[in-house]
């Protein structure tokens, strides 16, 4: 799965890890939002790597959790969803608006192959100093550079260079900022 090859999504070892990740994110979402100590502890247990300063506003959804790495000064607003069948690496000073989805999992286009429940996964990388607007969708295999602003409602289907404002479906460079 992590190598980007086709894999059986019903593999018992994967289902066990999936249950762990979803269970921890469910526990996190059930916490009183004022219990920051318990929330941080659960997120540190769930995620593969965190910086010292990070905030997730509930609810937060993920599959495995262990494939997610976040840098310093990370902020995610309501309803962040990360399907982390492959690694999701997020840099420092990244701010994510409500209802953002980051997907690493994909499915075959051929319906006969898709119905066998095989999948593939491609990593997503997000650089430093990135603002992701509300209801943005990021698809498998995308790399987003540093110093990027992504407009609300965008669908990011290919790599985004550093130092720009992007928006749209599909997402395109609107202007360079440096």
117 pairs with which residues across the strands?
A: none
Q: List pLDDT tens digits, range 9-40.
A: 999 999 999 999 999 999 999 999 999 999 99
Average pLDDT score over residue span 45-70: 98
Q: Is the pLDDT of residue 137 over 90?
A: yes
pTM across the whole model: 0.96
- State the average pLDDT for the chain: 97
Q: Is the pLDDT of residue 2 over 90?
A: no
What is the reported pLDDT for 98? 98
Q: List pLDDT tens digits, range 88-128.
A: 999 999 999 999 999 999 999 999 999 998 999 999 999 99
Rounded Cα gap, residues 161 and 163, in angstroms: 7
What is the reported pLDDT for 157? 98
Backbone angles phi, psi at 4, to 5 degrees: 85, 10
Rounded Cα gap, residues 3 and 104, in angstroms: 12
Average pLDDT score over residue span 156-167: 98
What is the reported pLDDT for 178? 83
Tell me how far the alpha carbon of residue 86 is from its chain's centroid: 10
Could you tell me the two tokens for 96? Answer: 């994510």
Q: Is the pLDDT of residue 144 over 90?
A: yes
Rounded Cα gap, residues 156 and 175, in angstroms: 16
Residue 107 bears catalytic tag:
yes
What is the reported pLDDT for 1? 86
Per the residue annotation, which of 22, 40, 87, 107 is the catalytic one? 107
Ordered by where they begin, the domains of the chain are 7-176 (2.160.10.10)
Rounded Cα gap, residues 10 and 5, in angstroms: 15
């Amino acid at each position: 799965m992590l190598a980007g090859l086709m894999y059986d999504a019903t593999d018992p070892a994967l289902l066990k890890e999936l249950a762990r990740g979803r269970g921890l994110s469910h526990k996190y979402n059930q916490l009183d939002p004022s219990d920051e100590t318990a929330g941080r502890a659960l997120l540190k247990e769930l995620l593969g790597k965190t910086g010292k300063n990070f905030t997730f506003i509930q609810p937060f959804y993920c599959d495995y959790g262990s494939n997610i790495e976040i840098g310093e000064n990370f902020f995610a607003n309501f309803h962040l969803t990360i399907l982390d069948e492959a690694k999701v690496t997020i840099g420092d000073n990244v701010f994510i608006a409500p209802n953002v989805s980051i997907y690493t999992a994909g499915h075959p286009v051929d319906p006969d192959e898709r119905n066998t429940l095989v999948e593939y996964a491609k990593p997503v990388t997000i650089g430093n100093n990135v603002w992701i607007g509300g209801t943005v969708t990021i698809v498998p295999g995308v790399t987003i550079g540093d110093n990027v602003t992504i407009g609300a409602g965008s669908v990011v289907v290919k790599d985004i260079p550093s130092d720009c404002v992007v928006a749209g479906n599909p997402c395109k460079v609107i202007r360079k900022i440096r």
